[in-house]
Amino acid sequence: MAWSEIKDKLKENHAWNEVLIEGRWVTMDTTWDAGGVNQNNNFVFRFSRKYYDPRPEDFAKDHIKLEERYY
C-alpha cells in the first residue's frame, strides 16, 4: 500500500509505503531515509532508520495523508 500526495517539509507532494512484513503492516519512507540534497543541489547519501517503522505520532509530524493509493 502506498500513501501518497502528502506535504513534506518543502511543501511538495511525496509518497511513502506501508509493507506487510511477517503479518504486520510496517510504515516506511525509504526516500527520506536515503539522504538529501545539499546546498549545491547534489544528493548526499545519509542512511537513516528514522522513517522505518516509526511510531504513528512521530511519523504524523511531517507526513500528512491526503490520499491512499493501493498497488
pLDDT digits (tens, 9 = 90+) for 10-68: 566 788 999 999 999 999 999 999 998 999 999 999 999 999 999 999 998 888 887 77
State the first-to-last Cα distance of the chain, in angstroms, to the nearest integer. 6
Q: With a cut of 90, say whether residue 1 has pLDDT above it.
A: no
DSSP 3-state of 56: helix
**Cα R_g (the chain), whole angstroms:** 13
pLDDT of residue 8: 47
Whether the pTM exceeds 0.75: the reply is no
